[in-house]
Amino acid sequence: MTVTNEWSLQALPDMDQAQFEQWKTLLEERTGMTITEQRKSFLQTSVGIRMRELGFSSYQAYYEEVATGPSAAREWATLVDRLTVQETRFFRHEPSFDVVKDFLLQRENQEKKSVEIWSVGCSTGEEAYSLAMLADQCLSKIGKGYYFGVTATDISVPALAKARQGIYHHRKLETLDNQLLSAYFEDKGQQRYEVVPRLKERVCFARVNVLELDKAPMHGMDIIFCQNLLIYFRRWRRKTILNRLVERLAPGGLMVLGLGEVVDWVHADLQRTHSDSALAFYRSKASSK
C-alpha cells in the first residue's frame, strides 16, 4: 500500500484493550517477550508508525497482514526489529566488564588456549565488539598465543545486519578512550568509524530466538554475557532461558547477567562471583548432574 499525505498527517489511532491484548499475545507467542500495560503506549506508537509507513488505517487490518498476509514473514521481521531493538552502547555497565576482565586475565595458567564468548541479545553489535576488544587486550597482555572468538546472537535481522557492518557514528564512540578508538576503529569520514578487520573477523553474528535455545549450536562457552534481555520475559520463562544457557556454559565458565533481571533464580552448578556491583556466576568444574 502507498502512504497518502492525508493519512501521514493524521494522529495515530488509539489502540483499544482488545487490540492491545491481540498484539501482546502475538508478540509473546512468537518471541516470548511480554508487553505490560505500562508499555501499551510504546506498542501503540511502534505499531502505529509502521502502519502509517505502509498506509494501513486500522490496527486490525495491519494485524491480519502481519499474521497471515502474503508478506507476513518479511513484515513480521521488520516489526520485531522496531519492538525489540533497545538502546545500547559500548561497554555498557562497566562493573560487568570488569568481572569479564578479571576472568580473562586469570586464563594465564589455564591449559586451554582458546576462549569462546557468547553475547546473547547483541542488538546492533556494541556489546559484542566491546567483549572482543576486552578479550583482545587481556589475552594479548598474557601473551601466550591465546585465541578468542565472540558469537553474537539476536532475534532482529536488521539489527544483525547493522552489527555485521560494524560502522558507527562518532556519537556512539564518545564513551571510548582514544586508545581503544585508534586501536580498533578506522575513520571512514563523515563522523563514521568502522571496526577494524582483525577484530571484526573474531565476531560471528547469527539469528537466534532465545525461545529456541535447544536448537542453538553453541556449547562449551567460556563466557556468556546476557544483559538487558531477560527483563522482557515473564519470570518463569527467564528461568527456563537461564537454565538453557547454563547447559551451554563450560565447566569453570563465567555467566554475566543484568542487575535486577533475576531475583529468585538459583542453579546448583553456579556460584556467584564476589562482585557486589555486577550479577555474575561461575560454573563449577564438576557438574551436579
Phi, psi of 150 (to 5 degrees): -115, 125
DSSP string, 41-98: HHHHHHHHHHHHHHT---HHHHHHHHHHSTTHHHHHHHHHHHHH-----TT-SHHHHH
Q: Kindly state the average pLDDT of the residues 93-118.
A: 89
- Confidence (pLDDT) at 3: 43
The one-letter amino acid at 117: I
- Confidence (pLDDT) at 8: 44
**Model confidence pLDDT, tens digit, residues 236-282:** 888 999 999 999 999 999 999 988 788 778 899 999 998 888 999 99
Cα–Cα distance for residue pair 117/254, rounded to 1 Å: 9
Q: Kindly state the average pLDDT of the residues 169-191.
A: 93
DSSP string, 155-188: S-HHHHHHHHHTEEEGGGGTTS-HHHHHHHEEEE
**Model confidence pLDDT, tens digit, residues 131-140:** 999 999 999 9
